[in-house]
């Protein structure tokens, strides 16, 4: 029977560990405050923002909400982020993506101070990740490393194939697997013979944004399969980039959707917020 990797349970464990750590750090006078900025009222973004605020409340981190109207200009948003950069009370800044089309997301990401970049998207955070310096890690890939480690799945020496090369999932995923001493291949839409590449994987991580794309023909017997995708199918059921029912009988371990990678992202965002408290501790 394959191991079904329980992201809900593992993310809860992490949140409980963080809650205990926050209590201890708070007793030493440390604090964390996350500024959560949302522009417009896209319903999906509102759900994500509320979940992040709820997680902050659970762990004992203060969150400050900035809900700006859809017509907010890019310069107005830049000014707010600069103000938050200079606010000593704010340790972390999160600008919920996607932003409305008239705002340049890259400019906003680059405006956030790397010292408050709890999403890990700033080019300085990305550079630190690749050269192995301490810094904020992109939350979804960092969550996947935790899923593997806490499920007893070793990475060192394994053949890891990441399908997808986005800046928020595929590329940082590859960097983190490399840091864990995996042998890493990154595949994408121009990869030739994708099935040949994915069938090499001991650990296959799929982040392509295509509903149930990966079937058992893409997977080596006994592989570990991590599904980052998140979709609602025609029957309104949540599903991933992997055809779970088709792939599950052949693997040694697999993440379900929902309840796999999804819950880990917020847990690792909370870890990044707590990291700002740990840093205060080190500096004292």
Give the footprint of ligand NAP on this chain (CB under 6 A).
Answer: 140, 163-166, 168-170, 187-191, 194, 207-210, 228-230, 241, 261-262, 265
Q: Which pair of structure tokens corresponds to residue 22?
A: 């926050």
CA 146 from chain center: how many Å?
11
Which CB atom, from 92 or from 240, has the smaller least distance to ligand NAP? Answer: 240
Which residues touch 1 (CB under 8 Å, ≥6 apart)? none
Q: Is 44 left (phi over 0), alpha (psi -120 to 50) or beta?
A: alpha
Q: Give 98 or 222: the residue with its C-beta nearer to ligand NAP.
A: 98
Clarify whether 3 is annotated catalytic: no
Q: How far is the CB of 126 from ligand NAP (least distance, A)?
A: 14
**Catalytic residue, candidates 96, 146, 158, 241:** 96
Task: Specify which residues 227 forms β-bridges with.
Answer: 206
Of 237, 280, 224, 268, nearest to 2 by C-alpha is 224
In the complex with ligand NAP, the residue whose CB is nearer, 44 or 88, is 44
Does 119 qualify as catalytic in the annotation? yes
First and final C-alpha spacing in the chain? 50
52 given a catalytic annotation: yes
The distance of closest approach from Cβ of residue 258 to ligand NAP in the complex, given in angstroms and rounded to an integer, is: 9
Residue 36: CB minimum distance to ligand NAP, A:
16
Rounded to a whole number of angstroms, the minimum distance from the CB of residue 76 to ligand NAP is 26
Specify whether the CB–CB gap between 225 and 242 falls below 8 A: yes
Judged by beta carbon, residue 14 or residue 84, the one nearer ligand NAP is 14
Structure tokens given for 16: 């409980």
Which positions are annotated as active-site residues? Answer: 52, 96, 119
């Amino acid at each position: 029977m394959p191991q079904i990797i329980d992201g809900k349970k593992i993310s809860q464990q992490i949140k409980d560990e963080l809650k205990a750590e926050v209590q201890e750090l708070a007793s030493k006078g440390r604090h964390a405050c996350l500024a959560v900025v949302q522009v417009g009222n896209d319903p999906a973004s509102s759900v994500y923002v509320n979940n992040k605020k709820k997680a902050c409340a659970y762990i004992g981190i203060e969150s400050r909400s900035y809900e700006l109207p859809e017509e907010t200009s890019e310069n107005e948003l830049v000014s707010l982020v600069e103000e938050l950069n200079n606010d000593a009370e704010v340790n972390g800044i999160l600008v919920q993506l996607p932003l409305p089309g008239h705002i340049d997301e890259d400019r906003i990401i680059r405006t956030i101070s790397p010292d408050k970049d709890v999403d890990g998207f700033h080019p300085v955070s990305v550079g630190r990740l690749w050269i192995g310096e301490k810094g904020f890690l992109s939350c979804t890939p960092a969550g996947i490393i935790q899923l593997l480690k806490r499920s007893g799945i070793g990475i060192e020496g394994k053949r890891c194939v990441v399908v997808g090369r986005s800046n928020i999932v595929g590329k940082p995923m590859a960097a983190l697997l490399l840091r864990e001493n995996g042998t890493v291949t990154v595949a994408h839409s121009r990869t030739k013979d994708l099935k040949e590449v994915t069938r090499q994987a001991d650990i296959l991580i799929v982040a392509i944004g295509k509903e149930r794309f990966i079937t058992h023909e893409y997977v080596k017997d006994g592989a570990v399969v991590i599904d980052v995708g998140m979709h609602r199918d025609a029957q309104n059921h949540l599903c991933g980039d992997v055809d779970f029912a088709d792939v599950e009988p052949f693997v040694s371990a697999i993440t379900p959707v929902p309840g796999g990678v999804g819950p880990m992202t917020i847990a690792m965002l909370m870890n990044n917020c707590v990291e700002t408290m740990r840093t205060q501790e080190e500096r004292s």
